Structure 1
Amino acid sequence: MIGTTIPTPLYPTYESRFGFGSTTTTVLFAVYAGGVILALVLGGRLSDAVGRRPMLFAGIVFSLASAVVFAIGTAEWMLFVARVLSGLSAGIFTATGTVAVLENAPEQRRSLASALATAANIGGLGLGMLLAGAVATVTPWPLRAPYVVHAVLLVIAGVALLAVRDSVTPDRSRIRLQLPGIPPESRGVFAASAVGAVVGFAVCGLYSSVAPNFMGKVLGVESPFVVGVVVFALFGASAAAQIVLRGLADRTLIVIGALALAAGMGVLVWSLLATSLALLVGSSILAGIGQGLLFMTGLRAITGATDASRRTEATTSYFVLAYLSISIPAIGAGLLAAGIGLVAAGVVFALVVAVVSLIGLTAARRFTA
């Protein structure tokens, strides 16, 4: 998952190198989400037929290919190809990696394994930004060195994967598409969880695609490392909150998550109007806590309310919704910024997210107390 966000702190450098603006940056982010959704639909059940390890190896290969294309990228179109490859890898690990972690965990540690698996998805995204920002700052090859480091990590992961137990007996007759669907027994809780998934991932998209431009053009922050730290704060807080607070009741987590996300958007508006980097970091942390709790609790509630035979179908729908939310609002924010400016667009986006988050509190009663 680290490789999927390596470009984020490098976007200002890419913009200078290739001469594109914030709209192209948000589209680059969106095509990655398209690759994730494609992998979820085409490969969501493929690991049931070919085994977990072959699918995870495929994810590593896609990620390596993405790193290579990014590292040698000399034209704008190559960035789009690399982003799609990265999305395909992330989609495979989102679906198959999560299942593999749970299957390899001892029965008495399943709750921790589930929290670690979902936190690894989000935490990996944050670590990618931190890695890219640090490597780009200390080397003279900011648009190549981060991908070389990532490629080395992928080789290590591939070797380590050889030791992972595969609990699936390959059966080619089970090859089929994993079309999204919402089983009747979980439609109520799915609808309640969808609000948090939409606003939470919309915020992730905003910080990953638009925030670097804001820091560069409004705050004058050009350092890839600083950009990486600010956006990492969001994903790091999300992962930490999911692990630390996983023992609380679902209804409590939904309330805390919605309030934290709304508060984070309030601080974001303050940071935009005051052009304050410190406030922007604070908004990242609050928003990350809210996003992490809303996403984790929604996924947990949906899997708990769905019959075991249809859980993959339901969770695929949840992830597809999340990745649509990470891309479409980000594109909208990018287009709005081109028309009314980065600050005004950020204020509008933050206010909408805050209002929707608070409205989502009305659905908290659908979750277990």
Structure 2
Amino acid sequence: MLAFAVVMLGTTLPTPLYSIYSTELGFGVVTTTVIFAIYAAGVITALVVFGRWSDVVGRRPLLVAGALLSVASAVVFITAGPVWQLMIGRVLSGLSAGIYAGAATAAVIELAPRRWRSRAPAIATAANIGGLGLGPLIAGLLAQFAPAPLHLPFAVDLVLLAPVLVGIWFIAEPVTVTPGARLSVQRLSVPPEVRGVFVRAAIAAFAGFAVMGTFTGVTPSFVAHILGVESHAVAGILVAVLFLSSAATQIAGRGFSTERALVVGCAILVVGMIVLTVGLLAASLATLFVGAVVAGIGQGLSFSKGLAAVVAASPRHRRAEVTSTYFVVAYVAISIPIVGEGIAAAHWGLRTSGVVFNIIVGTLALIALVLTVVAVRRSPRAS
């Protein structure tokens, strides 16, 4: 679990630093969003290419590979100069996150003590999202109050990764490796009998991850240029609040019934989008913090319960490919919308593009809410 959190932490470390990079390297919000979207492309590539490899060669080799990719990403960022080097660092970071999304989740569940077995999926997901939240928090505080803001956060990341690599080496291998088994690419598909559940869960996941993508890619620029708050710590804390609210909700809400929790999660996400829109229009930092908490709660509940619904509805022999498809949809939501918002921001400004984006995301969450309510009413015993 610690390895999972540390590797994911490394993927969001650059978030509050983009305003520094943009000043030193002379690029705008469009380039920032493209750099972030490249990370999502790396995640999707890893999910598709390496998604099934840990079932064949074992969890530990993939966990080591993902951690080493995270080390390589940190080294690239420490030595980063031109924009293309930042992009390479983000690709490496995305590959590490994509590997861990599958292999680390499975390992946490398989290696959990028997008394924790029922809580293991929620703990694994929370380690994932919680690690994502710790990255901007740590980097923002270091950038604000410590020297070498573009180097020290990644040096700290390398220090954290060292014991992680040692620990992974000594964990028990939970998979029985079959000699001669062939590696293959993870197929992405959804069986016909699962598509109804998948569509409404995937729409909610798309909306929630689009919010996370925007927060990590655009919020630091908005805080600096629209609110006039020249604090990397504030930008990092604001982003962290969204992720940590999501992680806490996933743990607290693990006992909720699936379909009704998905309804509540989508409804809260809609409210979160409204609050964030008000915060953007009013240029109110306090309102943005409230919106981040509300949206994080909605995202955490809708994503975790959407995943649970998809897994429960999938045939056992096809769960891996359906789950991978669900994660691909989520990470597409991080990449494409944020680039669109970056382009819109270059033409209309950060505030206008942010308001339009929040309205679109809120509409998607509302669609998922309506579809789920209809499904619950048709199947009152659904859980």
TM-score under structure 1 normalisation?
Answer: 0.98
Q: Which of 174, 179, 203 is the aligned partner of 2:182? A: 174
Aligned to 1:317: 325
Aligned to 1:215: 223
Q: Which of 81, 87, 96 is the aligned partner of 2:88? A: 81
Alignment of 1:105-254 (within 5 A): 105-171=112-178, 172-254=180-262
Q: Which of 305, 324, 334 is the aligned partner of 2:313? A: 305
Measured after TM superposition, the shift of residue 293 of structure 1 is 0.8
Closer, same or farther: CA 307–108 of 1 in aligned 2, 3 Å: farther
Whichever residue aligns with residue 310 of structure 1, its letter is R
What is the DSSP-based 3-state SS (H/G/I as helix, E as strand, rest coil) of the residue aligned with 1:174?
coil
Aligned to 2:59: 52
More divergent stretch after superposition (102-111 vs 75-84): 102-111
CA contact (8 A) 1:48 1:174 kept: no
Overall identity of the aligned pairs, in %: 50
More divergent stretch after superposition (102-111 vs 291-300): 102-111
CA contact (8 A) 2:273 2:361 kept: yes
The separation in 2 between residues aligned to 1:157 and 1:78, in whole angstroms, is: 25
The separation in 1 between residues aligned to 2:355 and 2:215, in whole angstroms, is: 13
Superimposed CA distance per residue, residues 33-52 of structure 1 (whole angstroms, 9 cap, x where no aligned partner): 00001111111111111110
What is the DSSP-based 3-state SS (H/G/I as helix, E as strand, rest coil) of the residue aligned with 1:140?
coil
Query: Aligned pair 1:326/2:340, yes or no?
Result: no
What is the DSSP-based 3-state SS (H/G/I as helix, E as strand, rest coil) of the residue aligned with 1:170?
coil
What is the DSSP-based 3-state SS (H/G/I as helix, E as strand, rest coil) of the residue aligned with 1:173?
coil
Measured after TM superposition, the shift of residue 308 of structure 1 is 1.6
Aligned residue pairs, count: 369
CA contact (8 A) 1:192 1:366 kept: no
Measured after TM superposition, the shift of residue 76 of structure 1 is 1.1
Query: Aligned pair 1:366/2:375, yes or no?
Result: yes
Whichever residue aligns with residue 232 of structure 1, its letter is A
Measured after TM superposition, the shift of residue 69 of structure 1 is 0.3
The separation in 1 between residues aligned to 2:209 and 2:201, in whole angstroms, is: 12
The separation in 2 between residues aligned to 1:147 and 1:357, in whole angstroms, is: 35
Superimposed CA distance per residue, residues 2-36 of structure 1 (whole angstroms, 9 cap, x where no aligned partner): 01100100010010010000000100110000000
Aligned to 1:263: 271
Gaps of 5+ in 1: none
CA contact (8 A) 1:12 1:213 kept: yes
Measured after TM superposition, the shift of residue 240 of structure 1 is 0.4
Measured after TM superposition, the shift of residue 70 of structure 1 is 0.3
Measured after TM superposition, the shift of residue 136 of structure 1 is 1.6
Superimposed CA distance per residue, residues 262-294 of structure 1 (whole angstroms, 9 cap, x where no aligned partner): 111111111111111111111111111111111
CA contact (8 A) 1:10 1:143 kept: yes
The separation in 2 between residues aligned to 1:185 and 1:210, in whole angstroms, is: 38
Aligned to 1:62: 69
Superimposed CA distance per residue, residues 292-339 of structure 1 (whole angstroms, 9 cap, x where no aligned partner): 111101111111111221111011000001000111011111111111
CA contact (8 A) 1:12 1:222 kept: no
Measured after TM superposition, the shift of residue 164 of structure 1 is 1.8
Q: Which of 79, 93, 101 is the aligned partner of 1:72? A: 79
Measured after TM superposition, the shift of residue 162 of structure 1 is 2.5
Alignment of 1:22-41 (within 5 A): 22-41=29-48
Q: Which of 345, 355, 360 is the aligned partner of 1:352? A: 360
TM-score under structure 2 normalisation?
Answer: 0.94
Off by >6 Å, runs of 4+ in structure 1: none
